[in-house]
Structure 1
Amino acid sequence: MNTPELRRLYPDYTYSRDVIASCFWADAVPAAALEHPPVSGPQRTRVAVIGAGYTGLNATLALAQAGVDVTLLDAEFPGFGASGRNGGFCCLGSHRASDLMLRRFGPDAPAQVRRAEAAAIAHVDALLTTHDIDVDRHSTGEVILAHSEKAMQALRRKAPHFARDFGADATLIEKSDLAAHGLSGPNWHGALQTPLGFALHPRKYLAGLVRAATAAGARIHGQSPVLSVQKTGATFTLITPAAVIEADRVIFATNGYTAENLIPWLRGRILPAQSSVIATRPMSDDELAAQGFTSRQMSYEDRRLLHYFHLTPDGRMVFGQRGGLLSSPRNEARVTAGVRADFDAAFPAWRHVETPFHWSGMVCLTASLTPYCGPVPGLEGAYAGFGYHGNGVAMASYTGTILADLAQDRPSRYLLPTAFAAPPPRFPLGRFRRAILASEYTMARLLER
Structure 2
Amino acid sequence: MTPSSQNPRRIYGDYTYSRAPIDSCYWAEAIPEAALAHPPARGRITTRIAVVGGGYTGLNAALALAESRAEVTLLDAEFPGFGASGRNGGFCCLGSHRASDAQLRKFGKDGPGEVHRAEAAAIAHVEALIGRFGIDVDRHSQGETVMAHSPRAMEALRRKAPALSRDFNAEVRLIERADLAAEGLYSPLWHGAMHMPLGFALHPRKYLAGLVQAAEHAGAVIHGGSPVLSVSHTGKRHLLRTPDAEIEAERVIFATNGYTAETLLPWLRGRFLPAQSSVLTTRRMTQTELEAQSYTSRQMSYEDRRMLHYFHLTPDGRMVFGQRGALLSSPRNEARVAARVRADFDAAFPAWSHVETPHHWSGMVCLTASLTPYCGPVPGMDGVFAGFGYHGNGVAMASYCGAMLADLALGQPTRALLPKAFAAPPPRFPLGRFRRAFLMAEYASARLLDR
* TM-score, normalisation: structure 1: 0.99
Q: How far 1:320 moved relative to its partner?
A: 0.2
Q: How far 1:277 moved relative to its partner?
A: 0.1
Q: How far 1:100 moved relative to its partner?
A: 4.6
Q: Which amino acid aligns with 2:194?
A: L
Choose from 177, 183, 186 the match for 2:185.
Answer: 183
**2:421 paired residue number:** 419
1:370-397 deviations in Å (ceiling 9; x for gaps): 1000000000100000000011000000
Q: Does 1:404 align with 2:406?
A: yes
Q: In structure 2, what is the Cα distance between the partners aligned to 1:62 and 1:333? A: 40
Choose from 196, 214, 217 the match for 1:215.
Answer: 217
Q: Secondary structure at the match of 2:170?
A: coil
1:382-430 deviations in Å (ceiling 9; x for gaps): 0000000011000000000000000000000010001000001111111
Q: Which amino acid aligns with 1:220?
A: I
Q: How far 1:162 moved relative to its partner?
A: 1.8
Q: Which amino acid aligns with 2:164?
A: F
Q: Secondary structure at the match of 2:159?
A: helix
1:234-263 deviations in Å (ceiling 9; x for gaps): 100000000011000000000000000011
**2:393 paired residue number:** 391
Choose from 102, 109, 112 the match for 2:111.
Answer: 109
Q: In structure 1, what is the Cα distance between the partners aligned to 2:415 and 2:294? A: 44
Choose from 49, 52, 66 the match for 2:51.
Answer: 49
Contact 2:96/2:119, CA 8 A, preserved across alignment: no
Choose from 317, 320, 342 the match for 2:319.
Answer: 317
Q: In structure 2, what is the Cα distance between the partners aligned to 1:102 and 1:233? A: 38
Structure 1 runs not aligned, ≥5 long: none
1:300-333 deviations in Å (ceiling 9; x for gaps): 0011100000000000000000000001000000
Q: In structure 2, what is the Cα distance between the partners aligned to 1:94 and 1:295? A: 25
Contact 1:101/1:419, CA 8 A, preserved across alignment: no
Q: How far 1:30 moved relative to its partner?
A: 0.2
Contact 2:368/2:426, CA 8 A, preserved across alignment: yes
RMSD: 1.1
Q: In structure 1, what is the Cα distance between the partners aligned to 2:334 and 2:100? A: 33
Q: How far 1:102 moved relative to its partner?
A: 3.8
Q: Does 1:232 align with 2:234?
A: yes
Q: Secondary structure at the match of 1:264?
A: coil
Q: Secondary structure at the match of 2:232?
A: strand
Q: How far 1:101 moved relative to its partner?
A: 2.4
**1:11 paired residue number:** 13
Deviates more, 1:379-388 or 1:103-112: 103-112
1:162-192 deviations in Å (ceiling 9; x for gaps): 2211111110011111111111101111100
Q: In structure 2, what is the Cα distance between the partners aligned to 1:94 and 1:28? A: 27
Q: Secondary structure at the match of 1:266?
A: coil
Aligned residues with identical type, % of pairs: 73
Q: In structure 1, what is the Cα distance between the partners aligned to 2:110 and 2:6? A: 44
1:116-167 deviations in Å (ceiling 9; x for gaps): 0000000000000111110011121000001011111110011111221111
Q: How far 1:3 moved relative to its partner?
A: 5.6
Contact 2:105/2:112, CA 8 A, preserved across alignment: no
Q: How far 1:2 moved relative to its partner?
A: 10
Map 1:156-195 → 2, pairs under 5 A: 156-195=158-197
* TM-score, normalisation: structure 2: 0.98
